[in-house]
Amino acid sequence: MRADLRCAEARIEISARLDGEADDASAGLLDAHLAVCAACRRHEDELATTRRALRLQPVGAVPDLADSIMERIDKERGRRSRRTEWASRWRIAGIAAAVATLLLIASLPEIERPTGVARAGEIAGEVRLAARSLEGYAARFEITERGWHEDVGVRHFSATMSFDAPERLALKVRDLTTYPGPRRWPQNDVDVIANARRYWIKEPSFCPPSALPGCVASPAQEQRSIVHRGPFDGTSALPTDIVVPLETLASTGSFAVLGTEGVAGRSAYHIALPYRRAVPLIDSLRAGGSWRSFHPLDRVDIWIDRGTWFPLRYSVAAGSSQDRRAWARNEAWHDDAAGEVLYEVEAVHFAERESFGSGLFDAPRRGIVRSGGFSASAFPASTSGVPATTAGLEPYRAGATGDGRRVLAYADGMTWLKVVTERHRPSRPSASPPGTAEEIAIESGNFVYYQPATEMLKRRIDIYGRSSHIHLESNLSRRRLLAVAASIGARGRRAGRVERSGGYSVRRVDAGRSFWFAARAEYLPPSYGQSSALLSRSNAPGRTLTAYYGAPEAEYEGFGVRITQSSAIGTLAPSAEDGLRSFELDGVTHRWSTERGELEWIERVPRAGGAERSVYRAVAVPSFDLTTALRIAEGLR
């Protein structure tokens, strides 16, 4: 591997150092580079000065906006000429949600408010360190679930988990519920065993809860196996956030630290965040079987051990928004009262382990067997396509897939990195990045395409070179993964700007480009930024701009916010979709889909010369609710 850094790599490392994220291996390379590069030394000085200035800006007290918000609510109640009473209630609900947020902040002890945000960053850093140092873990849990079926009030489970970093895991979930007429209900027993080369799961055959107890699946249980499993295979991802909640806490960007409490005789931080940000932890013990779902904005409380950073207890409680009730009806969940605890997990025993019993991680080959097509080999002697810096991770596994792609994997504890290289002829066009991928120039003329983590996959970067396609995937932070990508030395081409097929074309456009029919989003959820924008057109008149916005580290619903604006669509098409509601807002008919989490409307927009044209607008927010969609929509007017 190379023993020096390019300027592009060095500047990423400088930013990481100033954020306290540098590791010892990278620090030595950075110091050596700074010793001979005056331009990067100036960059470091300027960046450090800017950040010191930002940190020294005075932060005033949270303003008391309750009175002014209540005045707006009163005005909304009196305004009936421009909207219906029903639509007003939705606007008031959004303002009331803001009031509730302010009241929640104000209810925290005065001494906790200024320290809570800083402590959240410290906790995320400690979780990342714990994930690297962990070797083995064993625990037993008790699980309580409410609302799975109207005839089954509460379900109880026990679970045992053993984990040997980085890829050996054994999970056993046993259903202890007393069902009405037990033979009519499937036992929700689940087994998962995984090692580096094989994965196996046994779970009950699927029947939707709403179809029970009448639904009879045959056979009663299903088994699936993956052999020749590649390193950190996304189709058989391991639910490791139950060990150390790396993705849940280190990828959220922010969470509320509510204080320190005692749990099972240990000191724990009490943390709160929405379910949409806690999916990896909540689903850790739900890797198979039948479970209830949760609304993206349901509240999650986590009590995390201050010494080991293991989650000692966590719960999910029903949210209180009006939109959640409609969501619950659409999903056929019953009696989810606001604030009711729907899911609880508590560790009744846990310990770090260095060794495990023989055969614990031997995954059977049973049921439906699929091959991952991976063949192991030694790490290559060549440095071509090999990262010069791996953020301190050590070589772990190497090999090739059945279609000839080279795979290199690195790991340290639970933290891992995978680099997959596919070679092709220079004359063959490179594959295209996904439309939602963010285009990043890591240096002049060198482009990579980044995607945040999803429920199945971790953070990814694609480099489309002249004769190769390099794909990186890792649970490293975005910043660290970009540094790794910059150190590979491959020069990434900018993806083709236009794709055409059957009279239909799609063009990737720059974020700053404007179109007469497209308004700019003045509001986005905190930490959200634009990932990509696509301009499409067909043989019909008009064009469509689709813009994607996301959080930098993770989006467990696939994408965060999608805004579609089109001069080619003049009416809202009829739909028989369940959970569809229409309402008037400022004299314009809006339509909200609970199932898709999308708000649509047709707006009259003036063109040059004074003529007006109908423009279709849609805001999709699958990880949020109608209140969020309305706030984004209001910023488009």
In tens, the pLDDT along 389-415 reads: 999 999 999 999 999 999 999 999 999
| CA dihedral over 103, 109, 113, 117, signed as positive or negative | negative
**Which of 81-95, 116-130, 341-355 bottoms out in mean pLDDT, i.e. has the lowest?**
81-95
* Cβ neighbours for 579, distance < 8 A, ≥ 6 positions apart: 326, 327, 329, 330, 593, 594, 595
Token digits for 367? 């049921």
Burial (CB < 10 A; 0-12, 13-18, 19+), residue 63, is exposed
* Cβ neighbours for 35, distance < 8 A, ≥ 6 positions apart: none
Which of 181-190, 210-219, 418-427, 472-481 has maximum average pLDDT?
472-481
Token digits for 497? 């700007």
Confidence of residue 1 (pLDDT cuts 50, 70, 90): very low
* Cβ neighbours for 134, distance < 8 A, ≥ 6 positions apart: 165, 243, 244, 352, 413, 414
What is the C-alpha to C-alpha distance for residues 375 and 373, in angstroms, rounded to an integer? 7
Can you list the alpha helix ranges (DSSP code H) found in 283-367? 322-331
Can you list the alpha helix ranges (DSSP code H) found in 221-346? 246-250, 275-282, 322-331
Between helix 322-331 and helix 85-107 the angle, nearest 10°, is: 110
Question: Would you call 479 helix, strand, or coil by DSSP?
Answer: helix
Q: Above 80 in pLDDT, residue 423?
A: yes
Tell me the three-class secondary structure of 63-114, residue by residue. Answer: CCCHHHHHHHHHHHHHCCCCCCHHHHHHHHHHHHHHHHHHHHHHHCCCCHHH
Token digits for 62? 């949270």
Answer whether 236's CB lies under 8 Å from 199's CB: yes
Tell me the three-class secondary structure of 616-633, residue by residue. Answer: EEEEECCCCCHHHHHHHH
What is the C-alpha to C-alpha distance for residues 106 and 432, in angstroms, rounded to an integer? 48
Which of 155-164, 378-387, 485-494 has maximum average pLDDT?
155-164
Q: Above 50 in pLDDT, residue 106?
A: no
Answer whether 534's CB lies under 8 Å from 522's CB: no
Q: Above 70 in pLDDT, residue 52?
A: no
Per domain, the residue ranges of the chain are 7-55+374-487, 66-107, 112-179+240-352, 498-634
Nearest-CA neighbor of 187 among 155, 146, 142?
A: 155
- How confident is the model over 274-332, as pLDDT tens digits? 999 999 999 999 999 999 999 999 999 999 999 999 999 999 999 988 789 888 888 88
Range 131-135 average pLDDT:
95
* Cβ neighbours for 45, distance < 8 A, ≥ 6 positions apart: none
Q: Above 60 in pLDDT, residue 90?
A: no
pLDDT confidence of residue 396:
98
Answer whether 327's CB lies under 8 Å from 295's CB: yes
Could you identify the residue written with the tokens 């009448």?
A: 214
Four-point Cα dihedral 134, 136, 142, 143, nearest 10: 60
Q: Above 70 in pLDDT, residue 198?
A: yes
Is 112-179+240-352 assigned to CATH 2.50.20? Answer: yes
- How confident is the model over 213-244, as pLDDT tens digits? 888 777 789 999 999 999 999 999 999 999 99
Full-model pTM:
0.82
How many alpha carbons lie under 13 Å from residue 563 in its C-beta half-sphere? 28
- How confident is the model over 533-567, as pLDDT tens digits? 999 998 888 999 999 999 999 999 778 999 999 99
- How confident is the model over 333-360, as pLDDT tens digits? 876 889 999 999 999 999 998 889 999 9
Answer whether 76's CB lies under 8 Å from 88's CB: yes
Report residue 140: phi and psi, to 5°: -130, 140
* Comparison of pLDDT for 89 and 165, the residue scoring more: 165
What is the C-alpha to C-alpha distance for residues 612 and 609, in angstroms, rounded to an integer? 9
Q: Above 50 in pLDDT, residue 425?
A: yes
pLDDT confidence of residue 321:
81
Could you identify the residue written with the tokens 């004769």?
A: 467
**Which of 195-204, 424-433, 434-443, 466-475 bottoms out in mean pLDDT, i.e. has the lowest?**
424-433
Nearest-CA neighbor of 416 among 484, 350, 356?
A: 484
